[in-house]
Structure 1
Amino acid sequence: MAGPHATFPTDSAGKFDDEALTLAAGSQRCRVLLPLPLAGPYDYLAPEGTALAPGDLVCVPLGRRESVGVVWDSSDQDDGEELPVERLKVVKSRIDLPPMTPDQRRFVDWVAAYTLTAPGAVLKMALSSAQALEPPPTRPVYRLVRPDIAQPSAGEVKLTPARRRVMAIAADGMARSAAELAREAAVGTGVVKGLAAAGLLERLEMPSRIEINAPDSARQGPVLSQAQGQAAAALRAMVDSKDFSVSLLDGVTGSGKTEVYMEAVAAALAAGRQVLVMLPEIALSVQVLERFEARFGAPPATWHSDMTQAQRRDTWRAVAYGEARVIVGARSALYLPFKELGLIVVDEEHEQAFKQEDGVAYHARDMAVVRASIGRFPAILVSATPSLESVFNVQQGRYAELRLPARHGGASLPDVEAVDLRRDKPERIPELGAGWLSPSLRQALAETLGRGEQALLFLNRRGYAPLTLCRACNHRLECPNCTALLVEHRLSDRLVCHHCGFTLRRPTNCPACGEADSLIAWGPGVERVAEEAAYLFPEARRSVLSSDTIYGPKAAAEFVRRVQEHEIDLLIGTQIVAKGHHFPQLTLVGVVDADLGLSGGDLRGVERTYQLLHQVSGRAGRESKPGRVLIQTHEPDHPVIEALVSGDRDRFFAAEAESRRDLMMPPFGRLAAVILSSGDLQAVEEVARALARAAPKAEGIQILGPSTPPLAALRGRHRRRFLVKTPRDQRPQSYLRDWLGRIKLPNRVRLQVDIDPYSFL
């Protein structure tokens, strides 16, 4: 069998430990993949008289502990000698859960091969809820001991009117909790427990299950416009074909894309299939969840990092049993154990949040397409500003394209104006220091608030100031673990590293020269913009929205409610306010600093800046009241700003694509990153030099590096990076396997491969 086998240490006499069993040579041998970063499945033996099949979840011995694993498929490429039967461990037990489907097992293997990671590391993402793999908790329920005798004869048990009502409810023989019986009979739970003590009701322990209301696929949706109806019909046809396809639903902000893809969801549900809808920011998806409930009469199941362990357990099991029919989740939801998945929707497909960079590095949008291909069902990618990769695939004929060019319900797109900060300079405020809002933006805010409408000030920078320095010696306060500046958060009186989480109370003296009261904040964050807004518009009700103030779905729901009920006049927010929100009274958006992201060496920096500013601009004027967007910039002639002002998105994308094509960068070429890291600077540099010397020559492949990335140290580890560049028709995986296999990595140096990297920090 290929891969490692389940061999274990012997004692001093050379005997196996007490768990080792010797079975007959005819016992069933099976391969078990464990959720660990191992090279492949381990060989085990099935318990005598037990037949195990691929996909079964099992508990197996591993050294001196036990581990959950999955019986894996045999491989036609197995090589190496099989260990004798007597040297194999025996599977402890089979877990009473639905087996992992063949499609999901193929998906795990595919992701592992593509990302050059151990299959067990990918399986760990699929078995992400440890509690779901254990026997479920139970809850007490009660039922009649003898359903044929609902009312005992007088004298056997004293029956009060309350007891008679309980007995009448329980006469159908169904098991109910004490609370359910008491509620239906309009009595206290003590009455129910008294009947159990009297022997008329028996107490049972029933496995606890999450209660999920089934969505109604036949429920009537909203009236669609002609363009929406045509797009919805096309998506329904793709679902009905029961075959693989990828569609890009490309619609301007406010065009009703969600209502359109819900028609495809309804078609999949009607066909008896499960549906996965992936969102980049699940904590801020309150309005999407509300739309789902309004459309189908029941809320969808959700999957995201803010769930409790109990919620994760219940949802994981509900997906595995097929009870959860619609799941709305973040990127990790892609690895849930779907029993009969039939449609994947990736909303805001362009978002960088779909890219995972720690652990197994993958892009959930691309892996969603792979998962749909393996399962032979449709995938729908949705965006107002699609990624260049998706646009390229449309042009190549790989994806179908459906366009919604106008806003729904007669609303018009907002007017977008550039504010040239070289001429329209913000005024200094004596009480605060430097100002960040230009006279034009101040006037627009005053007019909007004066009409009783809402406004949004957007700055994609958390905290109060991105830099704290000493005016005496110019010392800059940096993170001790990362080559990154500490960001001042004045609301919490802390300096914070946004990369590793290091925090420091703001010192009163400079840590370098000791000068007292010499530290000054440099540059604006959203807290500083909020401070200026409070000074200029003291009567306006304000709220700062960032990942520092929104801690999960409940906080997000409360924020949405406050905006919708007009308890907030002026929002000041980062990128999380730019995505998908529909606020009818919000008519003005002011972008405080549009130049962030327009310069630097990030391959996708300009594209992401355009997408972000376009998205945040789309928050304005989404209903009958016209919207206005003011974009403050020092570069009004930049292609991004010109595209936003003119509304000519396609021209901008064409120019951006042309510049990528000239350099053979994605999507016209392929990239892979190799990142070395260690707490020992000398060790990581030695390995980087050795790896550079070992690089094989190959036609069409270019290796850039080793180089020091902008974050030369991260979380206390020094870093060096290689970038491998190949033509589009040549995947880099086989080259990387050959190259990286030529050196032995010391234990103190970690190597990570990132196929299709998105971040170059």
Structure 2
Amino acid sequence: MSLPQRIPVLVTLPFPGPLDYAPPGGAVPPPGTFVDVPLGPRRVTGVVWDGAGEGIVAAAKLRPIALVHDWPAMTAKARRFLDWMAGYTMAPPGMVLRHFANAANNDAAAPVTGYAPTGRQPDRVTPARKAVLELLAAEGALAPAAILAATGVTSGVLRGLVDGGALRPVALAAPPAPRPDPDFALPALSEGQAAVAGELTAAVGAGGYRAFLLDGVTGSGKTEVYLEAIATALRSGRQALVLLPEIALTAGLLERFAARFGVAPAVWHSDLTPAARRRVWRGVAAGAVGLVIGARSALFLPFADLGVIIVDEEHDQGFKQDDGVAYHGRDMAVVRATIEDCPIVLASATPSLETLANVEAGRYRRLVLPERHGGAMLPEVQIVDMRANAPERGNFLSPVLTRAMAECLARGEQSLLFLNRRGYAPLTLCRHCGHRIECPNCTAWLVEHRNRRQLECHHCGHIVPKPHACPECGEEDSLVACGPGVERIDEEVANILPQARRLILASDTLGGPLALAAAFDAIAAREVDVVIGTQIVAKGHHFPFLTLVGVVDADLGLDGGDLRAGERIFQLTTQVVGRAGRGERPGRALIQSFDPEAGVIRAIARNDRDGFVAAEQAARKRHGLPPYGRLVAIILSGPDQGEVMTIGRHLARTAPRDIEGFDVLGPAPAPLSLLRGRHRVRLLVRAPRRLNVQAVLRPWLDAAPVPGRVRMQVDVDPYHFM
């Protein structure tokens, strides 16, 4: 059998497919092997791909593969998943490969050096040296730290034994990761939980793809139920993946997982150290890591044998990635479960309309937990009409809410104030000339962070010190903060309840998962009286003494034309209200609104999820909007505003005209028309649900004259419209 003369390699660059290379010296690497290949004057990482190569370049002119990595190979199922994802998102496959390669891009860890006895006695045997030799004779080779800790000797003793020939350095194998024990602590489930868990465990035990919606009110014990599905996968030697919309949720879940399985699961997110990423990635590929909990990037880990995927808070828009390859982590998790042939569980107290549409169509099985676990009651919800209960001038908390907080504090209970806006104020205005301080790189105001004495753009990260005078007119002491952020609410609480211990929870006030875990521990230990937080506090946390939730601005986000605005507000507000009264004490929620008659506000007050969903579904069906129609956003960006708009108009003129229901809206400047110094124009494609929209878009967009300085991003199923 003749060896292949050309090998297709998919590289992590935006090419439409694999490039051909000559085999390296030695054995021919099989598909899935990670390699380095020459490309122009540099070397890039790639993966040997399936097929025979494109055959454009003559075999004699092909450059050979430069390096074959010893990383675990990308499985055939993972390669199928990549191809599917690239086709659906209309992203170059090499850009999708980056998600896999970024995780894989690690060499084997340097071996740990230990010491073992040679059998030779040192010239002089002191008590310290004798203690070391007796320890190693009994235990075998050990790392230096372990030897020092066990004997209490100094490192100089070890050096003397090595120099004298009594010890020799040896490479120690890394200790295996502890395996979760599915029977470590069996839970006491309610009758309803046990019935739902039984159906999930049966599906995981049987194997094969099935999709479930685990639909339970806040506090109903959804986590305990899906932990049983994970336990079933672990008993059969298979792996489990739990996806979360944000890192903040891992802190509390790690403790619950450890209590159930005896060890904490492996964690995967962007804040891991390179050593931790290497350890998890290789452990997953070898099958040694049985349980992973992580952000959406964990979807690209090299699982050896997936037994179940859990998507917790499946409705959360944090699963949607807008930059680079635009994809939704929940939807891609369903695709990966299909390819891996394993069950998937989507868990939520406020399921997305997309998931509910799949339930209606019979593609997903719905399992319901209608009551809170342990007899706890859902909180009483009251709408505070801010027109009739106006705060004092310059304040943002109504008298109704501040009285409730004072009463809560007097009872020794905790309050939570929710405002999904970081910083002190979203706008800084000159009272003399009216100038608003904007970001020079984006169509956005700079947000004041008073604790840091800075103004910051939350889109590009531009930061400047807060000026003493207006940059436009030069008037000193004329700059005023307009509107509230969580820092300003914290200041107001300090004035109203000076004795209350306060804590701000926002992504930019706490430095990573460990700090978040410490903050949540402080709340659980009742070291905090009032929590002021953004959406980071809205879901997944259980604080038994938190009995009052105040939503500072329930109307935030209702205006702006986002088709999912109402759904997002209902989900987020319902989730944050659900933090109250999860223990033995009853809970209460006060929702401040200047538009209490709005449909979404009334639905939240009545806890009428079904009514809200029915109204949203009817409106979406009437207008052919997702999930009953298709949307695709096309975003053009470049340094020259006129050039970008010209290309946008060309696209609109050349759009397909002969497909029923296929419409192109725009071009129009994006709401963020300037982002990171680039001008942005959007077109929006609306199409019927049944249409293979990618097949229509490809020839149209491929023919567009887009120069290299202009970027075109395609977002199939967009969630954000900025």
Query: Pairwise mapping of residues 243-322 of structure 1 onto structure 2 (< 5 A)?
Result: 243-322=208-287
Q: Please state if 1:461 is matched with 2:402.
A: no
Partner residue of 1:739? 700
Partner residue of 1:181? 147
Match of 2:685 among 724, 741, 744: 724
C-alpha separation in 2, matches of 1:113 and 1:301: 31
C-alpha separation in 2, matches of 1:174 and 1:401: 55
Helix, strand or coil for the counterpart of 2:521? helix
Partner residue of 2:116? 143
Partner residue of 1:597? 557
Contact 1:179 1:189 (8 Å CA) reproduced: no
Q: 1:262 to 1:25 in 2, by over 3 A?
A: closer
Moved more, 469-478 or 247-256: 469-478
C-alpha separation in 1, matches of 2:420 and 2:504: 12
Q: Please state if 1:85 is matched with 2:59.
A: yes
Partner residue of 2:452? 492
C-alpha separation in 1, matches of 2:235 and 2:598: 49
Match of 2:84 among 110, 119, 122: 110
Query: Pairwise mapping of residues 314-463 of structure 1 onto structure 2 (< 5 A)?
Result: 314-428=279-393, 434-463=394-423
C-alpha separation in 1, matches of 2:407 and 2:302: 53
C-alpha separation in 1, matches of 2:713 and 2:466: 35
Contact 2:122 2:164 (8 Å CA) reproduced: no
Offset at residue 522 of structure 1 (A) = 1.4
C-alpha separation in 2, matches of 1:124 and 1:413: 44
Helix, strand or coil for the counterpart of 2:252? helix
Partner residue of 2:604? 644
Contact 1:244 1:379 (8 Å CA) reproduced: yes
Q: Please state if 1:658 is matched with 2:618.
A: yes
Gapped runs of 5+ residues in structure 1? 1-23, 429-433
Contact 2:266 2:293 (8 Å CA) reproduced: yes
Contact 1:131 1:310 (8 Å CA) reproduced: no
Q: Please state if 1:212 is matched with 2:177.
A: yes
Gapped runs of 5+ residues in structure 2? none
C-alpha separation in 2, matches of 1:255 and 1:127: 39
Offset at residue 195 of structure 1 (A) = 3.1
Partner residue of 1:673? 633
Amino acid corresponding to residue 663 of structure 1 in structure 2: H
Match of 2:51 among 74, 90, 106: 74
Partner residue of 1:525? 485
Helix, strand or coil for the counterpart of 2:347? strand
Note the alpha carbon deviations across 1:590-646, whole angstroms, 9 max, x for none.
111111122220010110000010010011010100000000111222121211111
Partner residue of 2:28? 51
Offset at residue 136 of structure 1 (A) = 2.4
Match of 2:75 among 76, 81, 101: 101
C-alpha separation in 1, matches of 2:464 and 2:130: 66
Contact 2:7 2:22 (8 Å CA) reproduced: yes
Query: Pairwise mapping of residues 127-166 of structure 1 onto structure 2 (< 5 A)?
Result: 127-129=101-103, 132=106, 134-145=107-118, 157-166=123-132
Contact 1:144 1:173 (8 Å CA) reproduced: no
Offset at residue 349 of structure 1 (A) = 0.6
Helix, strand or coil for the counterpart of 1:675? strand
Contact 2:248 2:536 (8 Å CA) reproduced: no
Partner residue of 2:534? 574
The count of residues paired between Structure 1 and Structure 2 equals 721
Partner residue of 1:203? 169
Q: Please state if 1:713 is matched with 2:674.
A: yes
C-alpha separation in 2, matches of 1:570 and 1:73: 57
C-alpha separation in 2, matches of 1:371 and 1:302: 19
Q: 1:156 to 1:505 in 2, by over 3 A?
A: closer
Contact 1:143 1:174 (8 Å CA) reproduced: yes
Partner residue of 2:14? 37
Query: Pairwise mapping of residues 467-546 of structure 1 onto structure 2 (< 5 A)?
Result: 467-546=427-506
Helix, strand or coil for the counterpart of 1:468? strand
Offset at residue 161 of structure 1 (A) = 4.7
Contact 2:176 2:288 (8 Å CA) reproduced: no
Note the alpha carbon deviations across 1:107-146, whole angstroms, 9 max, x for none.
11111111111111111110114751x242232122233x
Helix, strand or coil for the counterpart of 1:710? strand
Note the alpha carbon deviations across 1:511-534, whole angstroms, 9 max, x for none.
222323222211111111111111
Q: 1:48 to 1:715 in 2, by over 3 A?
A: closer
Note the alpha carbon deviations across 1:443-496, whole angstroms, 9 max, x for none.
111110111110011111111111221222222221111111111111111121
Amino acid corresponding to residue 116 of structure 1 in structure 2: M
Q: 1:115 to 1:507 in 2, by over 3 A?
A: same
Partner residue of 2:133? 167
Contact 1:284 1:556 (8 Å CA) reproduced: no
Contact 2:109 2:275 (8 Å CA) reproduced: no
Offset at residue 581 of structure 1 (A) = 0.9
Q: 1:385 to 1:33 in 2, by over 3 A?
A: same
C-alpha separation in 1, matches of 2:233 and 2:719: 32
Offset at residue 755 of structure 1 (A) = 0.5
Partner residue of 1:11? none
Query: Pairwise mapping of residues 691-706 of structure 1 onto structure 2 (< 5 A)?
Result: 691-697=651-657, 698-706=659-667
C-alpha separation in 2, matches of 1:513 and 1:188: 68
Q: 1:234 to 1:685 in 2, by over 3 A?
A: same
Moved more, 211-220 or 491-500: 211-220
Contact 1:470 1:520 (8 Å CA) reproduced: yes
Q: 1:575 to 1:479 in 2, by over 3 A?
A: same
Query: Pairwise mapping of residues 222-261 of structure 1 onto structure 2 (< 5 A)?
Result: 222-261=187-226
Q: 1:131 to 1:169 in 2, by over 3 A?
A: farther
Partner residue of 1:556? 516
Moved more, 190-199 or 44-53: 190-199
Contact 1:210 1:315 (8 Å CA) reproduced: no
C-alpha separation in 2, matches of 1:137 and 1:413: 53
Partner residue of 2:568? 608
Offset at residue 383 of structure 1 (A) = 0.7
C-alpha separation in 2, matches of 1:388 and 1:587: 30
TM score, norm. by length of structure 2:
0.96
C-alpha separation in 1, matches of 2:398 and 2:57: 75
Note the alpha carbon deviations across 1:661-695, whole angstroms, 9 max, x for none.
11110000011110000111111011111111221
Contact 1:238 1:378 (8 Å CA) reproduced: yes
C-alpha separation in 2, matches of 1:335 and 1:712: 32
Contact 1:459 1:573 (8 Å CA) reproduced: yes
C-alpha separation in 2, matches of 1:649 and 1:65: 56
Contact 2:268 2:292 (8 Å CA) reproduced: yes
Amino acid corresponding to residue 296 of structure 1 in structure 2: F
> Percent identity between the aligned chains?
53
C-alpha separation in 2, matches of 1:516 and 1:172: 76
C-alpha separation in 2, matches of 1:461 and 1:425: 20
C-alpha separation in 2, matches of 1:525 and 1:47: 58
TM score, norm. by length of structure 1:
0.92
Note the alpha carbon deviations across 1:252-311, whole angstroms, 9 max, x for none.
111111111110111111111111111111134211011111111111111112122222
Helix, strand or coil for the counterpart of 1:712? strand
Q: 1:210 to 1:575 in 2, by over 3 A?
A: farther
C-alpha separation in 2, matches of 1:402 and 1:27: 52
Note the alpha carbon deviations across 1:340-363, whole angstroms, 9 max, x for none.
222111111111110000000000
